[in-house]
Amino acid sequence: MKQIAQYQDGRLELQEVPRPVPPPGGALVRTTHSVISIGTEKMKVEQAQMNLLQKARARPDQVRKVIDTARNLGWKAALEKVRNRLETPSPLGYSAAGVVVEVDPLNTRFRLGDRVACAGAECAFHAEFLALPDLLLAPVPAGVENWQAAYTTLCAIALQAVRQTEPQLGDRVLVMGQGLVGLLATTFLRAAGARVMAVDLMSSRRPFCHAMGAEKVVILGEQSLADEVRAWTDGYGVDAAVICTATQSNTPIEQAAEAVRDRARFVIVGNTRAELAWRIFYEKELEVRYSRSYGPGRYDPSYEWGGADYPIGYVRWTEQRNFQACLDLMAKGQINLAAITTRRAPFNDALSVYQDLMQEGAKDIGVVLEYENAERETPNAELSRPTTLPCNPEAGSQNQDLSGPVRRLDVIGAGNFARTMLLPHLKGRLQFGVVVNQTALSANHVKTRFSFERAATDAAEILGAPNSASAQAASEPDAPSAVLIATRHHLHGPLVKQALAANRHVFVEKPLCLSRQELAEIDEIYAKGKGTLMVGFNRRFAPASRELKRTLASAPGPKTASFRVMAGPLDPQHWYANYAESGGRVLGEACHFLDYFCFLLDARPVRVLAQTTWPPTGRLPFPDSVTAQIEFSDGSCGQLVYSAEGDTGFPKELLSVYGAGIVAEITNFQELVVHRGRKKRSFS
């Protein structure tokens, strides 16, 4: 793929580089448009073209780092570090849009073909493909074109500045600097009900200011800012000032300080010099705020790259929510991006575009780069083809059965499900060994209630202590020992691997694990060990299931099974809503019904087509409703509708099966109805 590379000697190149891969939880995007942030990128290019002395004057912070390196490691190491920095290319760009062409398995929001806005100076480059984490992507709503969505990051910067300003309806606000961010701040202030005075040095900006909603435009050098403010505000001064300049002169700060009223608010957005004169800032008791990029979450790796969103009750407007707000305003036609887009150029001509922007007197405001096939907003056939994964559970492992009944059982996880649904059925039928639970009080309670030998809080007491009673019992061939795992889902895979490695017989509640990697590791350990493994898929053992399977055995040919599950809404406070622990409802609960198809149809699945049926946004940022179709090796088909929506008066689980000369239905596993030979039989 092609990407713009900037060198510190001033060179700009359009280089051929490897295509990136999606980060964990992220996606790969084919870029259709990106926007040149003229102020920021022009500054970077200008700094790159400076000589070393000019660079040192422009970036004293970098000079201090070099001096610190020299003190610690010597001047030779410091000079080598500077040389490496000057020879290393850096990317340009941080605001783009495109189409998702690949999704990491950990991502739960995006699918192939989704149109997305892309953000981040670390990843949203001027490049043909972009690899971004989940929270630096935002879905593009209908009615918003991709070239508009490419402005989202820049819009979010301006929107965050307006949020910091906290304008009240009717406030008079001065916006100093009418570059791209300043113009967007002007339009957002106008949308918030404020009256805006736009200030700039270039008279050519006047029509853009009016187009973006400025009530008053002042061109410095042609008009007196002090006189215009006095006339516009009846002598009081403006209620707030937003500084969107990028200069080493302190003049904009001084002019804005004179223009604001007593106890006004100052919001500094641009990379500009800000020396606050004590007399005027003290006498007016001015409040000064800096607006940090796109909003809360910016520069926090646990948020941007770790996907740890902030609770909306504590942080209403994160950078992701700012992206969504900007896109919503675009969809409603409240941001006149066409008015400030002065050039749309092919990406392959980007180098000449930058040359034009560097010329004295360049008047461009919004410059959009358009990539090849930008009009195509869905992936090509090669990229969108469903992926068929190798599935051969028989390879490398054999089903192993117990040689005799288990005589001793250890339990890991003593929560409500284990206490109410599992242990009561086992009490008195097996010897209970050690019960392990994270909470000591609960472990002790279960020990007493179900007559375990001992309670513990560390699974290593069962799986990792070779001298423990449990380990000794497990090693005795005539007294096979088992372990029951009923923890939260994210612990299932690791605990199963440990138990199988210790040659234990394992019963684990569903799901077996939460990732393909864990599954492959379990397969490998299982094939080498002596233990057995069973997953707690219970529906295949219902009397109705056994009767239905006996009935279907006499019907030749493939079958079609349809399972409809009305699961009901998920409480955001339930631990299932913690995706890191549960894997979500699709992995954690809908797996029951995928297993059921395998049991009922008695064939191997070869392909799955699925889609989420409720937007994974808001309080539950992952899908909890899914519709899936599973193709089986014998031609049979399983269809699953698993929905969090519906009416609670409707049966929770309905199964319909169609075969040669037969139709059967199960309702909540309480009733089985078989239609055959024009006759209907019912079983309760």
Within 74-179, residue ranges assigned H as helices are: 75-87, 146-149, 152-165
8 A C-beta contact, residue 368 and residue 34 = yes
Residue 265 per-residue DSSP state: E
Query: First CA to last CA across the chain, in angstroms?
Result: 63
Domains of the chain, CATH where assigned: 7-150+301-374 (3.90.180.10), 156-290 (3.40.50.720), 408-536 (3.40.50.720), 540-683 (3.30.360.10)
The strand pair at 95-103 and 115-119 is best described as antiparallel
Residues 260-277 have pLDDT tens digits of 999 999 999 988 889 999
Residue 248 CB-density burial (10 A; 0-12 exposed, 13-18 middle, 19+ buried): exposed
Residue-averaged pLDDT of the chain = 88
Which whole number is the average pLDDT over 39-54?
Answer: 65
Handedness of CA 183, 185, 190, 191 (dihedral sign): positive
Residue with tokens 């219970």: 538
For the chain, count helices (H), then strands (E). Answer: 27, 30
Task: Report the pLDDT value the prediction gives residue 389, as an integer from 0 to 100.
Answer: 44
**Can you tell me the distance from the alpha carbon of 465 to that of 452, in angstroms, rounded to the nearest whole number?**
18
Residue 432 is inside which H or E element, if any? strand 431-436
3-class SS of residue 507:
strand
8 A C-beta contact, residue 621 and residue 318 = no
Residues 410-439 have pLDDT tens digits of 999 988 889 888 999 999 899 999 999 988
- pTM recorded for the entire structure: 0.76
Distances (CA, A) of 380 to 30, 102, 149, 584, 665: 11, 12, 21, 30, 41
Which whole number is the average pLDDT over 110-127?
Answer: 94
**Can you tell me the distance from the alpha carbon of 588 to that of 576, in angstroms, rounded to the nearest whole number?**
8
Task: Report the pLDDT value the prediction gives residue 474, as an integer from 0 to 100.
Answer: 52
Confidence of residue 624 (pLDDT cuts 50, 70, 90): confident
3-class SS of residue 371:
coil
Which tokens in the block code for residue 295?
């909003």
Residues 203-213 have pLDDT tens digits of 999 999 999 99
How long, in residues, is the chain? 684
Confidence of residue 251 (pLDDT cuts 50, 70, 90): very high
Packing angle, helices 492-501 and 516-528, rounded to 10:
10
Which tokens in the block code for residue 358?
């560097």
Distances (CA, A) of 681 to 133, 263, 542, 559, 657: 55, 82, 18, 19, 15
Residue 427 per-residue DSSP state: B
Task: Report the pLDDT value the prediction gives residue 134, as an integer from 0 to 100.
Answer: 95
Residues 491-536 have pLDDT tens digits of 999 999 999 999 999 999 999 999 999 999 999 999 998 899 999 9
Angle at Cα 289 formed by Cα 250 and Cα 268, nearest 5°? 40
